[in-house]
Amino acid sequence: MKRIINNVPLNDHITPRYVNLGLTKLPDIVKLCTCQLLYGHLIDEKPSNYTISPVSEQHNYVTRSASLQHLNPGFSRINIRKFCPTVIGCCYWNDLPFSIRNLATRKRFKKALFQYYFAQY
């Protein structure tokens, strides 16, 4: 659809067109929404049915993941569990820079998250 609107030939990349229009791609939109869901659970501490725990609660000793405040995605044997928002969301959350994860307000978090994913193009 974007190719038709922007008159882009089939052999050209569409990513520069997304950047010119200020749009994000679908996988990044999924990451944005999933990270915002986790932010609401972790930072705002809203009650929910999610079982998300930090790596530091898994061991009695200090590990690199615990010092980086990573989340434990848990074990998933089948693909349907691997793509569950709580499992894949922990992976997305662990990939974020520490400065974005610790922002105080939801509005600043959302803006910084959008800029982070948009800068990767």
Three-state helix/strand/coil letters over the chain: CHHHHHCCCCCCCCHHHHHHHCCCCHHHHHHHHHHHHHHHHHCCCCCCCCCCEEHHHCCCCCCHHHHCCCEECCCCCCHHHHCCHHHHHHHHHHHCCHHHHCCCCHHHHHHHHHHHHHHCC
pLDDT tens readout for residues 28-41: 889 999 888 888 87
Q: What is the pTM of this model?
A: 0.72
pLDDT tens readout for residues 47-102: 666 667 665 555 565 665 555 667 777 777 888 878 888 888 888 988 889 889 88
* pLDDT, average across residues 99-111: 89
Residue 3 has pLDDT above 90, yes or no: no
**Domain range annotation of the chain:** 26-119
pLDDT tens readout for residues 7-26: 778 887 877 877 777 788 88
pLDDT at 108: 92
More confident residue, 2 or 116: 116
